[in-house]
Amino acid sequence: MLWPKLVCFALVSLALCQLYQAASQETFSACPVNFTRVADKCLLADSSWKSWYESDRHCRSINAGLLSIKNQTELKAINEWLPVAAPYQLEFWTAGNKLGEVSTLIDYFWQSTGDRALYLPWAVGQPTPASGDCLTLLANYSTSTGQLVVEDHRLAVKNCTQWAPHICQTEPVQFKTQLCLNPEAFHEVQVPL
């Protein structure tokens, strides 16, 4: 009589073990609350007007950094997202700056990554280094049709103490799906890696 119960227990245990292994190998990534996945980043457009320093501090307070732009593909994705996230907003602070730069070359760096800014898609008439040391994403606009038409955002130089909205960025969080077993059931949970 004990033999059929042991075989049944062994089969159920084996099945749960296989199910656990299959589920625990699944991984995925997601953005923190209020952030939106854009290209390979999580972005948050904050419409409150702050200086570049206050904007940087705000992003850091939510475990993020100001926006940096790697390439044309990323800028295209950002320009597709901005009309949805912040319609009619013409300017945003980015992480770009030349603060502390003493060389005669004008090198900009991304504050959020510490990397030299290699991709600099300038707006018309930019850069104007005499305007300041920090970079914004600035959109040209037109009202010739009687409505405000906002074009793509491009980089512009601005005084760091002036005010503008800003965009925070962070990396997506990687999760692994695991099963939690208890005497009455099992639950699937996502555990951050």
Q: Domains (ranges, CATH) in the chain?
A: 13-31+175-193 (no CATH), 33-171 (3.10.100.10)
Rounded Cα distance between 47 and 85, Å, is 10
Q: Taking 70 as the threshold, does the pLDDT of residue 22 lie above it? A: no
pLDDT tens string 101-146:
766 567 899 998 889 999 999 999 999 888 999 999 999 887 778 7
Give the C-alpha separation, 84 to 36, whole Å.
Answer: 11
CA-based torsion, 137, 61, 49, 53: positive or negative: negative
Q: How far apart are CA 44 and CA 89, in angstroms?
A: 14
Three-class DSSP category at 154: strand
Residue 97 to residue 111: CA distance in whole angstroms: 7
Among residues 42, 50, 148, which one has the least CA distance to residue 85? 42
What is the per-residue pLDDT for 13? 56
Q: How many CA atoms lie within 13 A of 4 on its CB side?
A: 1
96, 108 Cβ separation under 8 angstroms: yes
In tens, the pLDDT along 50-64 reads 999 999 999 999 999
For residues 49 and 173, the model is more confident at 49
Mean pLDDT of 162-184: 85
Angstrom distance (rounded) from CA 20 to CA 28: 17
Q: What is the number of other CB atoms lying within 10 angstroms of the CB of residue 145?
A: 7
The answer to whether the predicted template modeling score (pTM) of the entire model surpasses 0.75 is yes
CA distance 32 to 171: 9
